[in-house]
């Protein structure tokens, strides 16, 4: 029989009692709604902050972080298209005439 220390047995007893309650709380609809509200609030606050920063940069005729982000997304989309075309060309080259 495994020699389990007393402190470990005590922890396991507490954990068996607490874990189901914590899981129940974390998996509840209320927790999910609260998480969603927090995520939306953070996103809203972030968007407002970046909008203000963008206006400041634009006043100085300089690109804002949002402009650079938009460029990155466009380059990313272009990269993906090139990748897809490259894979398609490889596929077509393999097919017999």
Q: Is 66 exposed, middle or buried (0-12, 13-18, 19+ CB in 10 A)?
A: middle
Q: Which of 7, 60 has the CB closer to other proteins?
A: 7
Q: Could you say whether residue 34 binds other proteins (CB under 8 A)?
A: no
Q: Could you say whether residue 9 binds other proteins (CB under 8 A)?
A: no
Q: Could you say whether residue 86 binds other proteins (CB under 8 A)?
A: yes
Q: How far apart are CA 74 and CA 8, in angstroms?
A: 55
Question: Measured between alpha carbons, how far is residue 33 from residues 29, 48, 49, 54 in Å?
Answer: 6, 22, 24, 31
- What are the residues binding other proteins (CB under 8 A)? 3, 5, 8, 11, 15, 18-19, 22-23, 26-27, 29, 32, 36, 39-40, 43, 69, 72-73, 75-77, 79-80, 83-84, 86-87, 90-91, 94
């Amino acid at each position: 029989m495994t020699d389990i220390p007393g402190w470990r047995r005590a922890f396991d007893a507490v954990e068996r009692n607490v874990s189901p309650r914590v899981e129940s709380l974390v998996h509840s609809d209320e927790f999910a709604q609260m998480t969603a509200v927090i995520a939306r609030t953070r996103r809203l606050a972030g968007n407002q902050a970046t909008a203000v920063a963008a206006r400041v940069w634009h006043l100085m005729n300089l690109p804002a972080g949002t402009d650079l982000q938009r460029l990155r997304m466009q380059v990313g989309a272009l990269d993906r298209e090139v990748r897809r075309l490259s894979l398609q060309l490889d596929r077509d080259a393999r097919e017999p005439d």
